[in-house]
Amino acid sequence: MNPEMDGIDHINVYSKGKTPLGRLLSNFADTPFHHPDYGRFRTVEGFWYWLMTGLEELRRLPGWECKELGKKATLKRTHPTENELALAYIAKLNDHPRIRQMLEKNTLPLTHYYVYNGKVVEPKEWQWTAQLWTKL
């Protein structure tokens, strides 16, 4: 992927992506939502690590802090399932109609990659999250 083409021939679902949609769809986006089964969360990243650790403070912290705290915590389980994450994504869209509108109007393919020091890193194990947004 070419980061210079983000927003032109694709949307990078990434906290540092070039498009508002890509940044808002990121798990790190500060987009509070109410999950139908698990309650309130500030970010999807907080939800992700809360499922893995059970740490209640992850419900209210910003995404980067959730990742840092979650990585240091004792894990009680592995990563969320696609279904668990789909429910969080749907809850996020329900609580943020503007993001839903942007996603519905988008015609570009969604992908996920990082850019470190000008190098593109495509984490194959996390592509399913961008694919899940596409399904929704």
Three-state DSSP class for residue 56: helix
User: H or E segment at 11?
Assistant: strand 11-12
Instruction: Please tell me the least confidently modeled range out of 37-41, 53-57, 132-136.
Output: 132-136
Interatomic CA distance for residues 62 and 11, integer angstroms = 23
What are the residue ranges spanned by the domains of the chain? 3-135
Span 22-44, average pLDDT: 97
Interatomic CA distance for residues 136 and 42, integer angstroms = 21
pLDDT digits (tens, 9 = 90+) for 57-110: 999 999 999 999 999 998 887 788 889 999 999 999 999 999 999 999 999 999
Q: Above pLDDT 70, what percent of the chain?
A: 100
Supply the pLDDT for residue 30.
98
More confident: 21 or 76: 21
pLDDT band at 125 (very low <50, low <70, confident <90, very high): confident
Q: What is the pTM of this model?
A: 0.92
The answer to whether the beta carbons of residues 59 and 46 sit under 8 Å apart is yes
Q: Rounded mean pLDDT of the chain?
A: 93
CB atoms within 10 A of CB 4: 9
Give domain 3-135's CATH number out of 3.40.50.300, 3.30.390.50, 3.40.1160.10, 1.10.357.40: 1.10.357.40
Supply the pLDDT for residue 123.
86
